[in-house]
Copies of this chain bind each other. A is one copy, B any other.
Amino acid sequence: MAELHLLSPRGFRAAGVYAGIKTKQAPDVGLLVCDAPSPTAAAVFTTNRVIAAPVKVGREHLAESGGRIRAVVVNAGNANACTGRRGDKDARRMCQFAAGVAGCQEWEVLPSSTGIIGHMLPMDKVEHGIVDAGQNLGDSAEHALLFADAILTTDTRRKAAAVQFKVGRQTVTLAGVCKGSGMIGPRLSLKPKQATMLAYLTTDAKVPRALLSSLLQEASDESFNAVTVDDHASTNDTAAIIASGESGVAIGGREARKFAEALNEVCRSLAYQIAADGEGATKVVVVRVRGATSEHAARTMARAIANSPLVKCAMNGNDPNWGRIVSAAGFSGVEFDPGKCTLTLQGTTVFRNGQPVPFDDATVSESLRASEVVAELTCRLGKADATVWTCDLSKDYVTINADYHT
């Protein structure tokens, strides 16, 4: 069987073209179109108070269309954020052009932008790009790749995931692509919230809109909202899913769980890929907190650890300096008793019941020299667990972000 991709679910076409918005010559305008007669869609957006124009317009369109989104139009290289009324107008204009080439209504289009904040979109280029994309729509793997490339900024690789599951003899396919490398600390929500992470998911299942919305929020909480590169929630974060219904499988009742699991799996894979491709990252750091009093407490502690520059630098240097991990949990604001805690690094216990456990520095340091490092803090206070994915902090992160403007 051929490898699955964003356009494997039936009823979708896509394109990615170079319109000259990015400085480097790579696709920067993407268009995803659902050709099915009655698609449903859901989206979660940034919770930042400063909201980019496309997020504002996207939210309106989702409401106006009653969740019937038929196209997604994206540009990379410019975030269209902090751009005032002209920015709003430009985001609407992107939708008008996309509606024109996709054969739908303006309010059936979800717009997205990613890149630098505070610059007006070069609309001549954007408009030409959308027209160009409309002329290059297709449903091949190649088309899926071009769309996935068109949404990237400082990412070093494209990010995609897909799964299939059976309902009776019928097959449902669910796929997604995303971008995100820096300004990553999403807190996505159905309610207004902000980071630049973009994710687009397609499925050929038929899913009622309300169910699709709640499953997307649930999946986002366990995936995109659990990844952090620099904890900087952006003005543009968006994750959206369109269900074409073309598989003929209606999701509800018992299948809802099956669909939810497929959605969670795709979202988690995409989120992990974001951590792995974090700006300057040399490894993924998986922070697990177990035995907390609530999931919120576990997540808050895991997030404090994952966001500590000291922890991230230690991981970059393969340094088993675990005191930084314990102390980060300590300032998270969550009540816990260090005297009951155990911390393991790559399976080696380094701290137990408030005291250091002797270990061989060189051996543990060597174990940290891996593409994935797991730090696990067990609190012994309750039954709640949480996992947060991050990456190490390297000199390359500084290089990338001290010189981004040039």
Contacts and interface: CB of A to CB of B under 8 A. Distances in A.
Interface residues of A, number: 74
Contacts of A356: 82-84, 118-120
Interface string A376-406: 0000000000000000011101111111111
Contact of A48 (B183, B233, B331, B401): B331
Contacts of A353: 84
Nearest to A186: B331
B230 A310 contact: yes
B361 A398 contact: no
Most buried by B among A86, A324, A354: A324
Given A398-B316, A399-B395, A402-B317, A309 B230 contact: yes
Interface in A255-311: 308-310
A401 to B, nearest CB: 3
Contact of A82 (B120, B326, B395, B397): B326
B319 A81 contact: no
Contacts of A400: 313
Given A336-B49, A401-B310, A331 B119 contact: no
Given A232-B331, A331-B47, A314 B402 contact: yes
Given A82-B355, A194-B327, A316-B402, A309 B117 contact: no
Contacts of A117: 321-324, 326-327
A313 B402 contact: yes
A190 interface: no
Interface string A346-386: 00001101111000010000000000000000000000000
B82 A323 contact: yes
A331 B118 contact: no
B402 A319 contact: yes
23 contacts: A47-B331, A49-B329, A50-B338, A51-B330, A81-B327, A83-B355, A117-B321, A117-B322, A185-B331, A194-B330, A230-B310, A232-B308, A232-B309, A232-B310, A232-B331, A309-B397, A310-B401, A313-B402, A314-B405, A316-B402, A317-B401, A321-B405, A395-B399
